[in-house]
Amino acid sequence: LAKTTQPISMDSYEGQEVNITCSHNNIATNDYITWYQQFPSQGPRFIIQGYKTKVTNEVASLFIPADRKSSTLSLPRVSLSDTAVYYCLVGDMDTGRRALTFGSGTRLQVQP
Amino acid sequence: EPEVTQTPSHQVTQMGQEVILRCVPISNHLYFYWYRQILGQKVEFLVSFYNNEISEKSEIFDDQFSVERPDGSNFTLKIRSTKLEDSAMYFCASSGGQGQPQHFGDGTRLSIL
């Protein structure tokens, strides 16, 4: 499994764009990059998944450079409700069938 | 949007008692999982289940644990003789398969007294 490194915590203000970068230097060819969000006392919630370049959905964008050794989750115009822990996970294409390994994540605190 | 539902939201049990945690995965999903999260710690994988059998399990998933899909909609986790250290949030997840993300329920908080 590719090891991931992400900041322990980040602070932001409402309305700002937040970029959380994850390093995964030993990512394998078949690995996908997946981000989850977790609020206190709730289950992890899938945000976005990508393999290369850029992926965008209604809540976030995921930027993956050509070497795929890192990725950046971008949250546009955050609000107080985006305060949560964000997890970067890297695993092969069978993530639908295999165990997910969660790290400690990045604790994002959004201030008014 | 379809979601994974778990019951009960909170279960309090005496040490040594059996407990069954219940999950209803998303209806067309084929792969099912249990994870747990001890307070303040990481989310840990317990077991995955596909085609009516265990696909993968972690060291945590010892003989005290079992899983079952008793019918077409439910997926259960049984702990036979609970210990204090079993106190945690237990999350069920399901997935449609290869390349599809896992979707989690909001968990059952298990408190062992």
User: Averaged over B88-98, what is the pLDDT?
Assistant: 92
Interface with B, mutate which of A39, A95, A101, A107 (most B CBs under 10 A): A95
Contact between chains at B107 and A41 (C-beta distance less than 8 A): yes
CB-based contact, B77 to chain A, within 8 Å = no
Q: Cβ–Cβ contacts within 10 Å for residue B105, how many?
A: 24
DSSP 8-state assignment for residue A42: S
The beta-carbon neighbor of A96 closest among B35, B97, B106 is B97
Of B65, B55, B107, residue with least CA distance to B86? B65
Segment A13-28, tens digit of pLDDT:
999 999 999 999 999 9
Segment B13-53, tens digit of pLDDT:
999 999 999 999 999 899 999 999 999 999 999 999 998 99
Contact between chains at B103 and A97 (C-beta distance less than 8 A): no
- The answer to whether A54 and A7 have CB atoms below 8 angstroms apart is no
